[in-house]
Chains A and B, each alone.
Chain A
Amino acid sequence: MLTILNRAVIALVFAFLLLPLIFVVVSSFGASPMLAFPPTSFTFDWYRNIPAAFLSGLKVSLIVALWTALIAAIVGTCAALALSRGRFRGIRVVGVFCLAPLMVPSLVLAVALYQFTGVLWDWTGLELGGTVMGVVLGHTAVAIPYVVRAVMAGHAHFDRTLEEAALNLGANWRQTLIYVTLPVLVPGIMSGAVFAFLVSFDDLPIALFMGGDASSTTMPVKIYTSIEYSLKPDIMAISALVIYGSLALMVLLERTLGLEKFFGSGRA
């Protein structure tokens, strides 16, 4: 009895999670120029006619997400190592500060970033406002906590005698870091980087405030601005494309590294 109930609950949860995705995919094949569900006739037209602006948005999104993942992985790993090993006054305050962007609504953060970077550009003479790197900078701020958390979780299981062993075998601290510490922490760093990528790819408000012309407009911004005027199946087509891509990526990760390891605790 319990198992039947259990299964029913699980099925409902899955349905709730997956049905919207299925709705998007099915709608993207509907021939009607208005959104209708279920579609009455079938077509590939929407895929053939995805507006160029969406595709360039997708490209910008991917570039921004890759840069974000890279920068967040580097900065976040350094921060996580400092927070895991450092002994300095106020280390806990710094730790909370590093995770703070997780708790602030991203719209609030976006407005704050917009104002702050305006001042920053003035002071430094860097003109990143409205550029791809400007968006990357904003995304990195929200992405770093994910890397910090993943690497710290991995570090909690790190055996410090490995470093003593390396030292004992003649490695200096730099060689120890490169040959032993970082490779052992790679699963945590990678899972943090994947989260950073996803956070960036997902984000609307920060990209909205930090972006500028078409060259720095990410796909979510493009979709958001276009549905203000019309809701057509071409949006479903580009959305479905993203779903296919995510699905392919998940299968790839599962085959190569194992998803559980990736999204688990960041442990080896």
Chain B
Amino acid sequence: MSEVRLEHVSRTYDRVTAVDDVSLTVAEGQFLTLLGPSGCGKTTTLRMIAGFLQPTAGTIYIKGEDVTRVSANRRDTGMVFQTYALFPHMSVAANVAFGLKMRGIRGEAAAVRVRDALRVVQLESMADRLPRQLSGGQQQRVALARAVVIRPQVLLMDEPLGSLDLKLRQELQIQIRSVQQELGITAIYVTHDQGEALSMSDRVAVMRNGRVEQLDQPDRLYSRPVNAFVANFVGRTNLLAVEVIEVFAAQSSCKVRSTDAPDLAFSVAIADADRAWRPGDRCLLGFRPENGVLGSTAENRIGARVRDVRYFGATRSVALTNALGGSLDIDVPSGNPIPARGESTEISWRPNGCFLLPREDS
């Protein structure tokens, strides 16, 4: 049974639609991330699940029960806010105990649970401090303990690491994920950081303009984006405008050619058959920078001129201008030789290292 289910949920503010007909389910114990640029409706969606906002249409279920009209304090969700929202006048322990107190759990029973929760986030020794005496990362861990100590049906996190620096963010990503797994708690996480979404989630919903563009496992999201927006928002993608010439063996692969230079043809292996391509379809061919190689070793080739090289430790990122005047990015392992800036070369990639996407305007 799914823990959280949204059915055709919409929210409009004075004629502006923030969330537009969103339907999704989160299975018990699953970690779902709502990913998207600011203004895509991800936070609005989360706030509707928490009960801080009413949907203008649609139904929200938690544990199979319709909670659309249930007020926030009776929904049994645990929320972690970007600004921590710790009660400044209460000690760490009192903050964590607050939800228990509201549920009538006091005294020794509450103290044990507060201690356990603080141990899970490794802040037992800070129990008597005030929030302002803690660092940002510590405060957010207290907020996490406060949210999970009440054993909510679902843990909601609204960009919880948004105001922390990179290194701390990575540490806390691991900690949040391990706390979620240890407790087996259903979680919905909001972020605009695609790396965070890919590394933490069981499934990711990519949102744009109030709609879910794609809801998938992180690896499928990355290797099989459904459109150019997802392809560009999750990782980087090289895109070429192409037209389908031929489709082989029940949609297993096809041949396409560039719409700008008809003599440039490429082969594409089609992994999933949820879209049937037909000859004459105009679409986009995409491949990831790490799937392209310098030289003509793979089947699909295009001429290019090196524009810029940037060093990233393990890899170098090579920016090129292709034969059609468009831009290409290739990641090359740092040991490999790289042509000098301005030099002409060839880029190649394999048919199963690329994908077809519909044109945005079609």
Contacts and interface: CB of A to CB of B under 8 A. Distances in A.
Interface string A179-192: 11001101000000
A212 B7 CA distance: 71
Contacts of A172: 73
B150 A170 contact: yes
Contacts of A169: 73, 78, 98-99, 102, 146, 150
A200 to B, nearest CB: 28
Interface in B79-123: 79, 81, 83, 85-89, 98-99, 102-103
Contacts of B74: 170
Contact of A180 (B52, B87, B99): B87
A164 B79 contact: yes
A159 B89 CA distance: 13
Contact of A168 (B78, B83, B87): B78
Contact of B83 (A161, A170, A186, A268): A161
A251 interface: no
Interface in B42-84: 50-52, 71-74, 76-79, 81, 83
Contacts of B99: 169-170
A162 interface: yes
Given A169-B99, A169-B150, A183 B89 contact: yes
Given A161-B85, A164-B85, A179-B98, A170 B103 contact: yes
A175 B98 CA distance: 11
A12 interface: no
Interface residues of A, number: 19
Most buried by B among A168, A175, A184: A168
Contact of B102 (A170, A183, A184, A186): A170
Nearest to B50: A168
Contacts, number: 65
A183 B87 CA distance: 9
A159 B85 contact: yes
Given A159-B83, A180-B87, A184-B87, A166 B77 contact: no
Given A170-B99, A175-B102, A165 B73 contact: no
Nearest to B89: A183
Contacts of A15: none
Contacts of B87: 162, 165-166, 179-180, 183-184
A186 B88 CA distance: 12
| Majority SS at the chain A contact face | helix
B73 A168 contact: yes
B188 to A, nearest CB: 13
B98 A168 contact: no
B48 to A, nearest CB: 13
Given A159-B83, A180-B87, A184-B88, A168 B77 contact: yes
A9 interface: no
Contact of A165 (B71, B79, B103): B79
A164 B51 CA distance: 10
A167 B85 contact: no
A165 B89 contact: no
B81 A165 contact: yes
A171 interface: yes
Contacts of B79: 164-165, 168
A167 B99 CA distance: 9
A165 B80 CA distance: 8
A184 B89 CA distance: 7
A42 B51 CA distance: 74
List the 4 closest pairs (A to B, CB-CB), nearest first: A169-B99, A170-B102, A165-B85, A161-B85
29 contacts: A159-B83, A159-B85, A161-B81, A161-B83, A161-B85, A162-B87, A164-B50, A164-B52, A164-B72, A164-B81, A165-B85, A165-B87, A166-B87, A167-B71, A167-B73, A168-B73, A168-B147, A169-B98, A169-B102, A169-B150, A170-B73, A171-B73, A171-B102, A172-B73, A179-B87, A179-B98, A184-B89, A186-B89, A268-B88
